């Protein structure tokens, strides 16, 4: 580079340290390809991360070799290989730790020089293989990902000034953004994702193009959109990326419930709007995630989705009350249904849909605790209804307190502390994690002289309500209460 800035020099020093660690395996693979008459270069994320002082677990390479030629070379180089991405020119391989001095497993993916383009009516990219590294780099999403290191000589290639953009914290496309986003509309989602992951800002013309072309994201499959949204949400600062989605209008097509919140004034008038409140709740929920051995290890996708979606029922339930107030009665129930619908549309798995929508449904339950007058029965029901989601519900409920009134915030926090203490007390006295009636189905049938059928289920539910109301009562008391219920039940 000619006349590098101090920031760029600092990045180069970081990269040198990281690339030195990567070099043995990468250089060796470069020699393998050169020996067969092909070019090989380390590209994309690993190069970017090297300049940021981060070592990538997986290594991405670009090559002039065809997929079949790459497959043959990697089969000889590695201990395992796969060709699941061969249609797109990508072959993967792994060399296990200990072989040729590798301290850890080495995982590589090698892709033939290419450019991805979308047919206007297709949801899948059409692959066209290229001939040069520079051509390949020009078709990448952003300049910070369009840098490469030629192997085995470790020659840095940066035809689009990606290093300068990296030093400035800028996301810019290597070619005209309209052309780039037309070739692959998912790059617009990646702009939001990298804004969240890297803390970079999107360059003006790139942001403008995404705004003008936002509707084109609809040709991309829901699964690919979901994956980008996941990466954004699981980043360190998802608020920045969500801001890009909303500002460009992309959210109107992939998550319309989020921008809809900008129009809904929070009923407590403590926030600019429900949208800002939601982003604050998300940040506070992230702060409450735990380390790897904690109850909710960071990053937790279910908790973050629930925080993002917890108030999406408000637009449909807003009512203006006499005196100037605003209410959102039952927005948690409406929101739970909307959450399930949106997550299914994004092709999330059934367990994630169930868990997130359940948290949205339950997120207001604590507010009935208020003055701490819940009975033990109510506490048991709270724990039972939350089930395995209890620790996430704790965090979502605490995060949902965004009042600037310190006295009220402390009162709410103290109330929830009290609730958690009561849960722990009951947990010590009872098996709260798996509350069951004192009699099982077999005992019910024996006592009442029944065969399997609906009446057994009704009796079981009666005993479950008894257990929740009174705690463990023992088999004898449960038998007496069951017989009393059976004798008093209405018969047709």
Residue 250, domain CATH: 1.10.110.30
- CATH of residue 63's domain is 3.30.460.10
- By percentage, how much of the chain surpasses pLDDT 90? 51
Whether residue 270 lies inside any domain: the answer is no
- Do 311 and 354 reside in the same domain of the chain? yes
Nearest to 156 by CA among 180, 173, 129, 137: 137
Q: Which tens digits make up the pLDDT trace of 59-103? A: 899 999 999 999 999 999 999 999 988 988 999 999 887 666 566
Q: Is residue 180 part of a domain?
A: yes
* Burial status of residue 326 (CB atoms within 10 A of its CB: 0-12, 13-18, 19 or more): middle
d(CA 104, CA 21): 12
Residue finishing a domain among 240, 255, 270:
255
Phi, psi of 328 (to 5 degrees): -135, 60
What's the N-to-C CA distance of the chain in angstroms?
A: 90
CA quadruple 435, 437, 443, 444: dihedral sign:
negative
Of 219-228, 256-265, 451-460, give the lowest mean pLDDT range: 256-265
The three-class DSSP label of residue 113 is coil
Cβ proximity of 22 and 59 under 8 Å: yes
What is the domain range of residue 160? 6-168
Q: Is residue 58 within 8 Å of residue 110, measured between CB atoms?
A: no
- 364 and 483 together in one domain: no
Last residue of a domain, one of 112, 142, 168: 168
Stronger pLDDT, 15 or 318, i.e. the higher one? 318
How many domains does one find in the chain? 4
207 is a domain residue: yes
Query: Rounded to whole angstroms, how far apart are CA atoms 96 and 115?
Result: 31
Q: 381 or 356: which carries more pLDDT confidence?
A: 356
Model confidence pLDDT, tens digit, residues 368-401: 776 667 888 888 888 888 989 999 999 999 999 8
**Token output for 466:** 């008894």
For residues 376 and 450, state if they share a domain: no
User: Which tens digit of pLDDT belongs to each residue from 151-191?
Assistant: 998 888 999 999 889 989 999 999 999 999 998 999 999 99
Among the listed residues 224, 218, 299, the one whose alpha carbon sits nearest the alpha carbon of residue 251: 218
Q: Which of 168, 197, 229 is the last residue of a domain?
A: 168
Do both 357 and 389 map to the same domain?
Answer: yes
Q: Could you tell me the two tokens for 250? A: 């992309």
Contacts of 163 (CB under 8 A, 6+ apart): 1, 4, 8, 11, 12, 51, 147
Which of 76, 74, 132 is CA-nearest to residue 108?
Answer: 74
In a domain, residue 267? The reply is: no
User: Minimum mean pLDDT among 127-141, 235-249, 297-311: which range?
Assistant: 127-141
Beta-strand relationship, 80-82 and 90-95: antiparallel
pTM over 0.85: no
What are 157-164's contacts with CB under 8 Å, separation 24+? Answer: 157/41, 157/133, 158/1, 159/134, 162/48, 163/1, 163/4, 163/8, 163/11, 163/12, 163/51, 164/5, 164/8
Give which of 173, 146, 169, 141 is closest to 157, Cα–Cα: 146
- Take residue 140 and report the two structure tokens written for it: 């990448």
Domain assignment present for residue 275? The answer is: no
Residue 472 confidence (pLDDT): 82
Residue 199 sits in the same domain as residue 159: no
Distance of alpha carbon 404 from alpha carbon 312, whole angstroms: 22
For residue 434, pLDDT beyond 80? no
Q: How far apart are CA 395 and CA 397, in angstroms?
A: 5
State yes or no: pLDDT of 310 exceeds 90.
Answer: yes
Asked, for residue 30, whether it belongs to a domain, the answer is: yes
User: What is the average per-residue pLDDT within 293-299?
Assistant: 93
56 and 89 share one domain? yes
264 found inside a domain: no
- C-alpha 405: how far from its chain's center? 31
* Cα maximum dimension of the chain: 93
């Amino acid at each position: 580079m000619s006349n590098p800035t101090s920031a760029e020099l600092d990045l180069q020093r970081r990269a040198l340290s990281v690339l030195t660690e990567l070099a043995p395996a990468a250089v060796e693979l470069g020699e393998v390809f050169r020996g067969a008459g092909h070019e090989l270069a380390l590209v994309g994320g690993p190069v970017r991360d090297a300049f940021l002082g981060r070592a990538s677990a997986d290594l991405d390479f670009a090559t002039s070799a065809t997929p079949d030629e790459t497959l043959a070379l990697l089969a000889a180089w590695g201990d395992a290989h796969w060709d699941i991405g061969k249609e797109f020119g990508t072959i993967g391989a792994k060399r296990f730790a200990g072989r040729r001095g590798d301290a850890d497993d080495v995982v590589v993916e090698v892709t033939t020089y290419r450019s991805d383009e979308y047919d206007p009516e297709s949801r899948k990219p059409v692959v066209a293989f290229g001939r040069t590294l520079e051509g390949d780099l020009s078709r990448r999403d952003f300049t910070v990902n369009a840098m490469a290191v030629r192997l085995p000589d470790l020659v840095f290639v940066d035809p689009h000034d990606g290093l300068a953009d990296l030093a400035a914290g800028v996301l810019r496309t290597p070619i005209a953004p309209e052309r780039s986003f037309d070739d692959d509309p998912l790059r617009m989602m990646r702009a939001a994702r990298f804004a969240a992951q890297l803390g970079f800002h999107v360059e003006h013309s790139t942001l403008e193009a995404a705004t003008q072309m936002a509707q084109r994201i609809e040709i991309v499959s829901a699964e690919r959109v979901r994956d980008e949204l996941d990466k954004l949400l699981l980043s360190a600062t998802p608020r920045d990326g969500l801001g890009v989605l909303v500002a460009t209008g992309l959210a109107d097509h992939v998550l319309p419930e989020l921008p809809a919140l900008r129009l809904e004034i929070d009923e407590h008038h403590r926030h600019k709007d429900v949208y800002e409140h939601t982003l604050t709740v998300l940040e506070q929920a992230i702060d409450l995630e735990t380390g790897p051995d904690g109850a909710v290890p960071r990053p937790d996708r279910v908790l973050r989705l629930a925080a993002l979606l917890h108030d999406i029922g408000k637009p449909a339930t807003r009512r203006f009350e006499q005196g100037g107030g605003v209410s959102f009665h039952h927005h948690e129930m409406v929101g739970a249904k909307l959450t399930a619908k949106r997550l299914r549309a994004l092709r999330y798995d059934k367990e994630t849909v169930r868990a997130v929508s359940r948290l949205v449904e339950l997120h207001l339950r604590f507010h009935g605790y208020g003055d701490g007058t819940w009975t033990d029965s109510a506490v048991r029901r709270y724990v039972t209804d939350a089930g395995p989601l209890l620790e996430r519900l704790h965090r979502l409920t605490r995060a949902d307190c965004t009042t600037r009134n310190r006295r009220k915030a402390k009162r709410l926090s103290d109330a929830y502390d009290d609730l958690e203490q009561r849960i722990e007390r009951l947990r010590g006295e009872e098996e709260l994690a798996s509350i069951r009636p004192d009699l099982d189905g077999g005992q019910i049938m024996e006592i009442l002289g029944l065969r399997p059928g609906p009446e057994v289920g009704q009796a079981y539910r009666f005993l479950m309500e008894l257990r929740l109301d009174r705690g463990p009562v023992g088999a004898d008391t449960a038998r007496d209460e069951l017989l009393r219920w059976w004798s008093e039940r209405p018969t047709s």
